[in-house]
Structure 1
């Protein structure tokens, strides 16, 4: 049996690796449209996103609490359960980045945690009500993103209907930099908290904390890991979202990013762990379809949806398998 302290160290380290892969995987969420419209170069956009991801990590801890309490009871999991879940989600993030698929790290984390927990103590350990609420939020986030994005682009077109299209594009160029920055901040606010929630659970499982809360050092470490991962940039996914999904101009990019960022900042403050990937992809599809349905490349969108559908069951299976392998470490 391993010393629990070193297992805790491994869990914290893997949670930060997950945060790194999350930032690497989700760079596109914040900057794909600003790169796709050629408003910023990829290098400048990635640097901006990295810094604002770090800043966003300090916005709230409500999502961390939801991850830590609403999937499984933190008092009824072990460090090996968390270790197994993290290995599964990290592997999935690496695979999907290499394939250029913008899947949800939130779905992957939830699936992995469910699978590892079920392998440990069966379905009785699950917080069914909390899981259902989280899954509903994850499912409706792309729909809400599409509706808000479509509404914003319709409003923009109505307000600027008498202005030449070329002048509108120039007007929205600096505005899109703002919207991309807002999206990067909101991404950090929503997604850095997921690793924080896992580390907070690990501290409870280890016994150093009796209640789930997020210490300051965890916020700092998670924010830095997310920012560093974002700085590495998942360029294949940037290309998929920013160029292949729908052809965007600066007003469309502004509408998609602003709509998605508003939703993400709101739910991060409330404490609902939704998918930033689903939200921004839904917003881009909504904006594209509102302008012209045929402007959305539905074949690319279909592949993305298939990847979304597969994420939860595949990562749950991976979490289950990893725990089955590593449970011998619990003695």
Structure 2
């Protein structure tokens, strides 16, 4: 029975990753489409290619944080323990439910934080508060969760101010230059996102294989990393158009110059976080970068009412997904354990 549940959970992990691609991955192409710098089909093709390249250049530090840095590994690492498998299954279901709700509402919340919230809630339900690695959760997740959008906002603001200072006397046709150069900035953002979010699913799948008795140690293999990234890319190819609209026009009406600065600042923050093993939110960083570039140019033109709703979703995602996963764990426990 445990093997069947493990296989079902692994399939669900790939399903979560596809939804992650639809929900979060569309941030990679949101501004380039909204600024009319590139047709949607071409943007998706280039972004998907960049996402696939990402895992080739970065290690698996983020996968280790997701797999072993929320629920303590010694608590969940009991090969053949059905409670461990059901805990991860409940975490995935809770995260998926939250993603579907925010996707339906067009709110750019974080799939990464939904997954972390799911692991947190299900982990507490399955093993108790002592099973949570609070040090890793606070310093690698919570602090980074608050810091990364602030850094994204700050870098976006600085990049935009520099651009205004450098290009203010240029012919308006300079926007045509930024339409074309965005290919490079989008590739940088796509590879950074692919290396980050592909790892998150890979960490969960590897953990499932350990607790389900399919492998002996937590080592993220290349095939798991690549297959997770393929699932992510498939989700991006489907396009999360409501979220693209929110990020591209719902915060600030972006033009090619804005879009270039958003992509460059976001990619820088995400790539640096990957090196540190911090599972940051692409959604948060891209959205905050849009806020930064908008504030640098015309602060009154930023749609702060929409920003308030987006920021609120950042705060409630982890607890909401956690509560959902906790409830789902108790339901699954009655059925499966």
Aligned partners of 1:108 and 1:312 also within 8 Å: yes
2:159 matched to 1:152? yes
Q: Give the aligned partner of residue 122 of structure 2.
A: 116
Aligned partners of 2:35 and 2:254 also within 8 Å: yes
Shift, 1:330, TM fit: 5.1
1:136 to 131, 138, 143: 143
1:247 to 233, 242, 253: 253
Aligned partners of 1:52 and 1:181 also within 8 Å: yes
Q: Deviations over 1:150-197 (max 9, x none)?
A: 111112222223312x12212211112221222122111111111111
Q: After the TM superposition, which of the residue ranges 110-119 and 209-218 deviates more from structure 2?
A: 209-218
Shift, 1:57, TM fit: 3.2
Distance 2:10 2:39 in 1: 34
State the secondary structure of the residue aligned to 2:173: helix
Distance 2:143 2:335 in 1: 35
State the secondary structure of the residue aligned to 1:255: helix
Q: After the TM superposition, which of the residue ranges 48-57 and 214-223 deviates more from structure 2?
A: 48-57
Aligned partners of 1:21 and 1:93 also within 8 Å: yes
- Could you list the runs of 5+ residues in structure 1 that have no partner in the other structure? none
Q: Deviations over 1:60-105 (max 9, x none)?
A: 2110011111111233220100001001111111111111110011
Distance 1:113 1:21 in 2: 17
State the secondary structure of the residue aligned to 2:18: helix
Distance 1:295 1:216 in 2: 45
Q: After the TM superposition, which of the residue ranges 174-183 and 238-247 deviates more from structure 2?
A: 174-183
1:41 to 20, 24, 39: 39
Distance 2:250 2:133 in 1: 38
183 and 170 in structure 1: CA distance in 2 versus 1, 3 angstrom threshold: same
Distance 1:75 1:188 in 2: 29
TM-score between the two structures when normalised by the length of structure 1: 0.96
Aligned partners of 1:183 and 1:257 also within 8 Å: yes
Describe how 1:57-96 pairs up with structure 2 within 5 A.
Answer: 57-58=55-56, 59-77=58-76, 78-96=84-102
Aligned partners of 2:51 and 2:229 also within 8 Å: yes
State the secondary structure of the residue aligned to 2:330: helix
- Could you list the runs of 5+ residues in structure 2 that have no partner in the other structure? 77-83
Q: Deviations over 1:48-68 (max 9, x none)?
A: 222222222333211001111
TM-score between the two structures when normalised by the length of structure 2: 0.94
Aligned partners of 2:55 and 2:225 also within 8 Å: yes
2:182 matched to 1:176? yes
Provide the alpha-carbon RMSD of the alignment: 1.3
